[in-house]
Each structure stands twice: as C-alpha cells, then as structure tokens.
Amino acid sequence: MTDQAGATPPSTLTPHLLASVLAIVAARGGVDFRDYRAATAVRGIEARIRATGCPDATSYLGLLEQRPEEIRPLLEAILVRVTQFFRDPGVWAALQYRVLPSLSAQNTAGSLLRAWSIGTASGEEAWSIAFLLGALGNPFEVLATDVSPTALRLARAGVYPTVATLAVPSDLRQRYLEVDGERTQVRPQLRGQVIFAEHDLMSAQAVPREAVLAAFDLILLRNVLIYLDPRLQRKAFERATQGLVPGGALVLGCAEVIPPEAESLLEPFPRVAPELRIYRRRERA
Ligand SMILES: C[S@@+](CC[C@H](N)C(=O)[O-])C[C@H]1O[C@@H](n2cnc3c(N)ncnc32)[C@H](O)[C@@H]1O
C-alpha cells in the first residue's frame, strides 16, 4: 500500500505486536509461526491489516482477539502458496530420466513406489510427480500434505487454469489431463493413487496419520525451508530424512541446501547436477 505521495507508510507492527499476534495464531490457529522467518509473518499480517481496514497493528490485534473467524484468513495470508506444474524443469527432467528409473530398479520386490510431497500447496507438485510415476509403470502412491486447508481443497479438486498446465509435457497432458476451454482437470485414473492430507511438518506428529507405517522412496520438500529459521529447518530435515528408505531420494528447492550435519545421512544423488538439489539417503549412516 502506498500513501498519496506514493511512499509505503511505515509499519506499525512492532516486534512486541508481532509476537502477540503470532502467539494468538499458535494458540487458536494451531500453527506456530514464531520460528518462521519474521519477514514471512510480517508480510501476511500487513496484508490482513489492510484487508480488514484496520488503521494500525494495535487495532488489528484487538480485532483478532475479538473475532476468532479472523484466524483462518490470517493463517492463509502468512502461508506462501506459490507453485507450478513441473516447477524448475531441470529438476523434473532429472527425476524422470535419472532418479525415478534408479528408484524403480532398486525396488526389486516390485512393491509400491511411495512419494511424499511436503508443503504441496495447491497440488501441482503432487500431480506432476504422479504423472511421471504413472508413466513409469510401477505401482505407486503419492502422499501430499500441507498445513493450508484452502490449498488442499484446490489440490484435491485437481482443476487448474489451462494456461497453468501448459508446463506439463505434452504426452503427459494428453494422458492425464482433460482440457475444457480455460479450465483443465486431472483425469480420474490417477486420483486413487494421490492422497491429500492436512499435516503440519512441525507438529508433534512427525508424519501424517496416513503414513505412520510408511517409508518413502522419494520425498519432495521444495520451497518450504526458505520460510523457516535455521532451528526449524534442521527439524524439517530430520523428519524428511527419517521418512526415507535407505537409497531413497530427497528433493529440495533450487535455493536450498542440506545443512552440514545432514551430510552423514545424505549424499548428492548420483549422476544428477548438484545445483538441482537432489540427494540420496545413504545406505548406511
Ligand atoms: C511456496 S509453497 C511450495 C509449494 C511446492 N512445494 C513448490 O515447490 O512449488 C510452500 C507451501 O508450504 C506450506 N507450509 C508452510 N509451512 C508448513 C508446515 N509447517 N507444514 C506443512 N506445510 C507447510 C505452505 O502452506 C505452502 O503451501
């Protein structure tokens, strides 16, 4: 927002007010953003201050205390849900030609190949990996989780603007997507193999209920760590690494790297360019 002179007015969200708002969100909204990077929370709160017409952060805090129904939109405003089908095409080429064939060859028992998309947002990442796994021909299952119920509703519906699906390779588009003018829908054949579930990666429950007995061949943890402070990042790594079978692959966002202490558990995935941030759980830690 800009004032009449075109400048952004100074923020009224002091560190104390920020802490009070986040304490309310943690207690009543169930998501603890206090160890997220402050800029992520500040941007979301400022957006809600403007949307609710509050003159400043103090009056917004008052509104939040009085109106429990404001918690949800605030939570959604803090979560950044930007995503795309086949986001970072080089990563998906590596998955298609190097990582998935290797995971499939490793799975000599022919059991389900299991993938987990953490922070899946509106589902484009989960559907992208399901398309590749479907084309590979192995039996598979994709678990896709997020803390945002709004994002998960979109993900489950599997309906996207047609223009957003143009990044899907054309053979996969023809096979798995049904174009209806400006809207494109995921065809029914993969729907039983992709499970969407609400799960907070930072909650006491390390893996979602749907996955308690499962170990995953592939975990996608992309563009989530950037919003977390180093302590939460370490926790997220620990959880993702524990969820992998030995030899399983962990895919991070292109701007993210594993911390040095994770190097005893993870190694760069063989024959994949290091800048693609694809790692493999070592057979023996
Ligand atoms: C920027 S999107 C990334 C989407 C997708 N992974 C990609 O790379 O395109 C980040 C997602 O992480 C989710 N997220 C943030 N904190 C989370 C947490 N503690 N547990 C699970 N998901 C979380 C947000 O709701 C959002 O949908």
160-195 confidence digits (pLDDT tens) = 999 999 999 999 999 999 999 999 999 999 999 999
Q: C-alpha dihedral over 209, 212, 214, 220, to 10 degrees?
A: 50
Per the CB < 8 A criterion, the answer to whether 44 and 57 are in contact is no
SS3 281: strand
CA 209 distance to own-chain centroid: 18
Q: Is any atom of ligand 1 closer than 6 Å to the C-beta of 125?
A: yes
Confidence of residue 3 (pLDDT cuts 50, 70, 90): very low
Q: Long-range contacts: 63-67, Cβ < 8 Å, 24+?
A: 64/21, 64/24, 65/24
The two tokens of residue 186 are: 């995921």
Q: Could you identify the atom of ligand 1 that is nearest to the CA of residue 117? A: 6
93-112 confidence digits (pLDDT tens) = 999 999 999 999 998 777 89
Q: What is the pLDDT of residue 285?
A: 56
Q: Could you identify the atom of ligand 1 that is nearest to the CA of residue 122? A: 27
What H or E segment, with its residue span, contains residue 180? strand 177-180
- What distance in Å separates the CA atoms of residue 74 and residue 57, rounded to the nearest whole number? 13
* Residue ranges per structural domain of the chain: 15-78, 89-281
The pLDDT of 54-75, averaged and rounded, is 96
Per the CB < 8 A criterion, the answer to whether 181 and 213 are in contact is no
Q: Does the structure show a pLDDT above 70 at 82?
A: yes
Confidence of residue 2 (pLDDT cuts 50, 70, 90): very low
Q: What is the pLDDT of residue 1?
A: 42
Confidence of residue 4 (pLDDT cuts 50, 70, 90): very low
Q: What is the pLDDT of residue 74?
A: 97
φ and ψ at residue 243, rounded to 5 degrees: -80, -10
- In this structure, the residue with its CA closest to atom 2 of ligand 1 is 81
Interval between CA 87 and ligand 1 midpoint (Å): 14
Residue percentage of the chain with pLDDT more than 90:
78
- In this structure, of 5-9, 42-46, 74-78, 153-157, the range with the lowest mean pLDDT score is 5-9
217-270 confidence digits (pLDDT tens) = 999 999 999 999 888 898 899 889 989 999 999 999 999 988 888 889 999 999
Q: Is any atom of ligand 1 closer than 6 Å to the C-beta of 76?
A: no
172-181 confidence digits (pLDDT tens) = 999 999 999 9
- In this structure, the residue with its CA closest to atom 11 of ligand 1 is 119
Confidence of residue 57 (pLDDT cuts 50, 70, 90): very high
More confident residue, 254 or 211: 254
Q: Is any atom of ligand 1 closer than 6 Å to the C-beta of 147?
A: yes
Q: Is any atom of ligand 1 closer than 6 Å to the C-beta of 83?
A: yes
Residue percentage of the chain with pLDDT more than 70:
95
Interval between CA 250 and ligand 1 midpoint (Å): 16
CA 179 distance to own-chain centroid: 26
Q: Is any atom of ligand 1 closer than 6 Å to the C-beta of 202?
A: yes
Q: What is the pLDDT of residue 99?
A: 98
Q: Does the structure show a pLDDT above 80 at 276?
A: yes
- Alpha helix segments (H runs only) across 161-229: 170-176
Kindly report the average pLDDT of the chain as a whole number: 92
Q: What is the pLDDT of residue 213?
A: 60
Q: Is any atom of ligand 1 closer than 6 Å to the C-beta of 224?
A: yes
Interval between CA 197 and ligand 1 midpoint (Å): 13
Looking at the domain covering 15-78, what would its CATH class be?
mainly alpha
- Asked if the 89-281 domain carries CATH number 3.40.50.920, the reply is no
Angstrom CA distances, 223 to 117, 205, 233, stand at 11, 21, 11
Q: What is the pLDDT of residue 253?
A: 96
Say yes or no: do domains 15-78 and 89-281 share a fold: no
Q: What is the pLDDT of residue 8?
A: 61
Q: Which residues of 121-145 are buried (b: 16+ CB within 10 A; e: fewer)?
A: bbbbbbbbbbbbbbeeeeebbbbbb
Q: Is any atom of ligand 1 closer than 6 Å to the C-beta of 79?
A: yes
Q: What is the pLDDT of residue 77?
A: 95
Q: Does the structure show a pLDDT above 80 at 207?
A: no
